[in-house]
Structure 1
Amino acid sequence: MKTKIMMASRKLKIPRKTNFWSVTPTPATHSKEDSIPMLIALRDYLKLGDKEREITRILNNNMVKVDGRIVKDRRFPVGFMDVLSIDTLENDYIIVYDRKGKLVIRQNAPGNKGLKLFKVVKKTIIGTGKIQLGFHDGKTIVTDRKDINTSDVLLMKIPDLEIENVLKIAEGDKVFITGGSHVGELATIKSIEVKKSSVKNMVYLNEGFSTIKDYMFVVGTPKYTFKTPEIEVISNDE
């Protein structure tokens, strides 16, 4: 489904006057507002073609993978922490937020090859000893591990989704801020204030600010750190 590029999500960091048409992301994984349609990712971000037909040709030739799996749909949505690979490019790419809350595509660190971080947003008991975990990107897995809770971040192999490590949210952890006035920043947890009411839990950071726990995405613990790209504030009128 086509849409005017002026109507695309304001979280996309793209020029609004270069191309007239965008596409509406398919309702698959990330929400419409928090995702980049594949056409926009390849055409406007990575500059792999000027025309929609050029991008369609790349996709039809099985040259594009998201989280290790081939994607052919130009409307397929990619979002925060997704890993994008293109056969003709040497490096993988990762989608993150910049410090203006825009979705950007950055080169992934070589040490992250074959790995991705998934934040647990839902935990459901589905049978004797079996638990279904739902992640921030819409994916799910079934596991017998009872030590995993919501807000935990799992380091998993892609595309098979095998758990390599569990990053618990705790004091001393390194986190990527996914919302609020400090979106796109890396910080270290100083303390966590647990509220007894329906008010959201607060997290205080060593860097001198605080924000709600919902915006915490753990990327490092004292024993392991997932390499995230440095995000700079770049002045633009997009």
Structure 2
Amino acid sequence: MVKNHLKRLNVPKSWPVKRKTSKWIVKPRSSHPLGQCLPVSVILKEVLGFAATAKEAKVILNQKLMLVNKKARKEPKFGAGLLDVVELPGMKLHYRILLSKQGKLVLHPIDEKEASIRPCKIQSKRIVAGGKIQIAFADGTTMFTDNKEYKAGDTLVLSMPDNKVREHLKFEKGAMLYITAGRQASLYGTFEEVRQFSGAQPDNIVVSHAGKHYETRKDYAMVIGREKPAISMVD
């Protein structure tokens, strides 16, 4: 039980679930951090309300009625994460997982066109056999490329399901940033400046939004657009 489940009282604060309805809840299998993903069975039961029980959720998944990033997911424990696209095509429902102002994971409704793209932050890159460049994204996925302009911290907007690069968003001043962790999580705004510190302390950045300036850690931010977001956001 413990290996595949979490105690409800101990789930991340970002999970939009009730904590006292039962003792256990499904633990997601995902390359996303635990606090930035939800099991698809939990999404069906406790977020969307399309299943009353785990058994009902499993029936929906087995019928391939739910897609995550354009792929049918039958495993109830599969974790859909921040910025992933969740769809129920038969009901013409399309969502992107974002953060609410309260720091909760939410399924933000989007249209069918937007459901075909996914922004991915480049975490690192390395040269592999044959001289190819392997890029590792913050969500745990990887891709190979010949493009040497892509840098850690940049964002690639990928089309789905073919995972082709639609847009390269550089981490540079003036870009539109999305804060995905920390006290300012869910905020998006214009990248104003970097504040560097000596020693081991991480660099901070300053982001402006609605006439106000906010400071957060550099690694908490990702580029989601140039002058405006490339995706619709939670207001």
Same fold (TM over 0.5): yes
Query: Which residue of 207, 228, 232 maps to 1:228?
Result: 232
Amino acid corresponding to residue 165 of structure 1 in structure 2: E
Per-residue CA deviations over 1:71-122 (Å, capped at 9, x if unaligned) read: 0000001111010011332131111122232211111245413110001112
**Equivalent position of 2:143 in the other structure:** 141
- Superposition RMSD on alpha carbons, in Å? 1.9
Contact 1:179 1:215 survives alignment (8 Å): yes
Query: Which residue of 6, 10, 24 maps to 1:7?
Result: 10
Amino acid corresponding to residue 227 of structure 1 in structure 2: I
Amino acid corresponding to residue 158 of structure 1 in structure 2: M
Contact 1:37 1:74 survives alignment (8 Å): yes
Per-residue CA deviations over 1:180-226 (Å, capped at 9, x if unaligned) read: 2211111111122355654322211233121121111111103x631
Contact 1:9 1:32 survives alignment (8 Å): yes
Question: How far apart in 2 are the matches of 1:3 and 1:140?
Answer: 28
Query: Which residue of 180, 190, 194 maps to 2:192?
Result: 190
Contact 1:111 1:227 survives alignment (8 Å): no
Matched, 1:209 2:214: yes
Structure 1 alignment gaps of length 5 or more:
232-238
3-state DSSP of counterpart to 2:36: coil
3-state DSSP of counterpart to 2:43: helix
TM-score, normalised via structure 2 length: 0.89
Per-residue CA deviations over 1:48-77 (Å, capped at 9, x if unaligned) read: 111111110000001111111110000001
Amino acid corresponding to residue 172 of structure 1 in structure 2: G
Query: Which residue of 150, 164, 167 maps to 1:165?
Result: 167
**Equivalent position of 1:236 in the other structure:** none
**Equivalent position of 1:16 in the other structure:** 19
Size of the alignment, in residue pairs? Answer: 229
Question: How far apart in 2 are the matches of 1:109 and 1:209?
Answer: 30
Identity of paired residues, percent?
25
TM-score, normalised via structure 1 length: 0.88
Task: For residue 143 of structure 1, report the CA deviation from its aligned partner.
Answer: 0.7
3-state DSSP of counterpart to 2:173: coil
